Amino acid sequence: MKKIIVLISGQGSNLQSIINACYHKQINAKVVAVFSDRSSAYGLTYARKAQIPANIIIPNTFTDRQHFDFVLSQEIDRYKPDLIVLAGYMRILSNFFVNHFKGMIINIHPSLLPKYPGLNTHRKVLENGDLEHGLSVHFVTNKLDSGPIITQKKIAIVPTDNEMSIIKRIKHQEHIIYPIVIKWFIEGRLIMKEEQAWLDGKKIPI
């Protein structure tokens, strides 16, 4: 059985959707461990409920990012994972970490990348009066919220929207799309090659 590690920092609703998809065999793999950089991350409770090891590694106990990521990578290596899923993990990864797990880290980001990398994407969409917004799933490379895009989903912004209503609609889509992408990867259909995402032997044209 293939092994998935999920990194979180917060609520963990995407983690829960991945755990569910594994439980219902939509994804033929197991979440073998969850890591959080925050002890308060609510998502840890989802891991514990599913009897998945819930590890907390707090950054400010380390000298620098490199050191933190080195220890995190060693802890992750113990599980011999096939895939590392960032699910609301709000730390920038060091080059060391990204290179160590090259081609096997994916991220979900609440914007139509390359638009709005970083934080507060929903607020920026509202402030700029955008008529559409969305989410992106991508392989992780050394640039923040960058890396080959695997898939995107657009949503329309309506005049009555606020940050909460947008978050709700985006997350609803995330919970559908992320398990599908993970399934592709686990089945060997999705790979990163030549700094591009490939599905079923074809470059993903995004």
Q: Which residues bind ligand GAR (CB under 6 A)?
A: 8, 10-14, 43, 87-88, 108-110, 145, 170-171, 174
Q: Is 12 annotated as a binding residue?
A: yes
Q: What is the smallest separation between the CB atom of 163 and ligand GAR, expressed in angstroms?
A: 12
Q: Which of 100, 109, 122, 138 is catalytic?
A: 109
In DSSP notation, 136-166 reads EEEE--SSTT-S-EEEEEEEE--TT--HHHH
Chain-centre distance for alpha carbon 161: 25
Q: Is 52 annotated as a binding residue?
A: no
Strand ranges inside 14-141, DSSP E:
29-36, 54-56, 83-86, 105-109, 132-139
Which CB sits closer to ligand GAR, 108 or 192? Answer: 108
Pair 52, 33: CB distance under 8 Å: yes
Q: What is the smallest separation between the CB atom of 77 and ligand GAR, expressed in angstroms?
A: 23
Which CB sits closer to ligand GAR, 14 or 141? Answer: 14
Q: Is 192 annotated as a binding residue?
A: no
**Structure tokens that stand for 199 in this block:** 């599905």
Q: Is 199 annotated as a binding residue?
A: no
Q: Is 1 annotated as a binding residue?
A: no
**Structure tokens that stand for 135 in this block:** 């989410």
Q: What is the smallest separation between the CB atom of 172 and ligand GAR, expressed in angstroms?
A: 10
Active site residue 109: yes
Which CB sits closer to ligand GAR, 100 or 138? Answer: 138
DSSP tally for the chain: helices H, then strands E: 6, 10
Q: Are strands 54-56 and 29-36 parallel, antiparallel or unpaired?
A: parallel
Q: What is the DSSP letter of 187?
A: T
Residue 181 parent element (H or E): helix 163-186
Which CB sits closer to ligand GAR, 109 or 133? Answer: 109
Binding-site members for (6R)-10-formyltetrahydrofolate are: 65, 90-93, 107
Question: Which positions are catalytic?
Answer: 109
Binding-site members are: 12-14, 65, 90-93, 107
